[in-house]
Structure 1
C-alpha cells in the first residue's frame, strides 16, 4: 500500500509535467504597457532582481505565483534551471544583504491577474490559456 507521503512527490512531478508539456508558460504584462517583447535574459534579470526598471522606464514589479504552485516551480526550472529551494535560498541571501527584494508573492492565480492589471510596471508568468485581451505576452519559452 502506498502512503500519502510517498504519493506527494509523484503528484508534484505529474503537475509539473502537465504544466510544462501541456500548457506552456508565458510572461505577460498589462496590454496598457508599452513593452512589446523581452528576451529570456531580460526576464531572468527582472525576476532575479538584477533589473529594477522595465525597458519602458517603469519600475519593475515582478509577481510570483504562490509558493507551492507547480507553475512557480516550472517557471524557475525553465527560466534558470533551478528548483524552488535554490530560488528561495538565492532570495534569502539577497534579501538579508539588503541588495534586492524578491518578486511579490501571491496567494492565487486570480490574485496574480488582479495585481498585474492594477499595478504599473507589473510583470508575471501565467499559463498561456489565461491570456486574454487585457494581457500582452512579452516572452515565450522556446518549445
Structure 2
C-alpha cells in the first residue's frame, strides 16, 4: 500500500471516528409534564410508549400530548437515541407506516424549547423532553434518564 493511500485511509478513519464520537447520545435531557397532569413520575417504558404512540393516556387518565423538538435537531436525535435506540430516519419511517395505516400520528412538533415549555405549562396532558439546564418552575420533571 502506498504512503499516499495509507495517509488517506488514516485521514478517513480519523474523520469518521471524530464524527461518530460527536454524535454519541447523552442524558442531558429530562421529560417534563404539566404541574396539573396528575403524575409525579414516569418510567422509561411509559415515556417510550407515549412518544411511540402505543399509549395515548398518562397514568392519571389524562390524554397524553407528547411534544417533539424540531430545533435543535440534535436534541430530538439524542432523545430517540437514548430512549428507543433509533435514529431519526427510523423514527420517521415508523410514523409514516403508522399514519399510512391510520393507527396514529406523531407527536406535535415545535421549533424551540421555549415553545415546548409554554405548551406543557398550559396543556394538562402535554409532556416534552427538555435540556435539563432549561427547565423552569412552570413544569415538573417526571422522567430523568440519569435517575432511572
Farther off after superposition, 63-72 or 118-127: 63-72
Shift of 1:44: 0.5
d(CA) in 2 for partners of 1:47, 1:92: 14
Q: Which has the larger radius of gyration?
A: 2
Q: Report the alpha carbon displacement of residue 109 of structure 1 after superposing the two structures with TM.
A: 1.6
* TM-score, normalised with respect to structure 2: 0.80
Instruction: Please point out which of 80, 89, 98 is paired with 1:85.
Output: 89
1:67 and 1:105 in contact (8 A); partners too: no
Q: Any gaps of 5 or more consecutive residues in structure 1? A: 1-5
State which of 72, 77, 86 in structure 2 corresponds to 1:73. Answer: 77
Structure 1 residues 88 and 30, CA gap change in structure 2 (3 angstroms): same
Task: Select which of 119, 124, 129 maps to 2:123.
Answer: 119
Scaled by the length of structure 1, the TM-score of the pair is: 0.83
Q: Write the distance in 2 (CA, Å) between the matches of 1:64 and 1:51.
A: 16
1:68 Cα deviation (Å)? Answer: 5.8
- Contact between 1:60 and 1:122, CA under 8 Å: does it hold in 2? yes
Structure 1 residue 137 corresponds to structure 2 residue 141: yes
* Number of matched pairs: 131
Give structure 1 regions of 4+ aligned residues with deviation exceeding 2 angstroms: none
The equivalent position to 1:27 in structure 2, one of 28, 31, 34, is: 31
- RMSD over aligned CA atoms reads 2.1
